[in-house]
Amino acid sequence: MKLDRRQFIGTGVGAAGCVALLGWSAAPVAAAKGPFPVTLPDAEWRKRLSPAAYRVLRHEDTEAPFSSPLNKEHRAGTFVCAGCKLPNFTSKTKFDSGTGWPSFWQPLPNAVATSSDDLLGYTRTEVHCRRCGGHLGHVFNDGPKPTGLRYCMNGVALGFVPANA
């Protein structure tokens, strides 16, 4: 199939619009409004984090569903921010949501903060680390009792510390 100039330009403009709509960017973005107690230059975040964790925590990316080893983590322990190691969730609130991402029905006290996310054209509630502002995932109102919430987190944005460690 051969594209004429008008089709080529239209396709490029459409693709650029999709990129802008989804928020993809080469420039670092703050996952939430700061200031935060832990603030590092972009170069330091790149050194500290794996490439996947950097994309999620610092650029609000999303890992592929069912890709995180934390989905199968069932030991007692604490899930911590991969960026600053702040404890965010306990294994006591983890559940299998069937979505492909580690899910929790409640964060630890004073561990996370939320903000409004309109990147997909509708409003979602973004969850970020209270200490470093890193993007962890989103919270939805379709979780189990007692809260009815589903904190759907990117596993790459979290680390796990076993209770007996």
Task: Give the catalytic positions in this structure.
Answer: 152
Which value, to the nearest 10 degrees, does the dihedral of the CA atoms of residues 125, 142, 137, 77 take? 130
Contacts of residues 12-15 at CB distance under 8 Å and 24 or more positions apart, as own/partner, are: none
User: Is the sign of the CA dihedral 7, 14, 26, 151 positive or negative?
Assistant: negative
Tokens standing for 158?
């979290």
Tokens standing for 14?
């459409």
- Tokens 């993809």 belong to which residue? 24
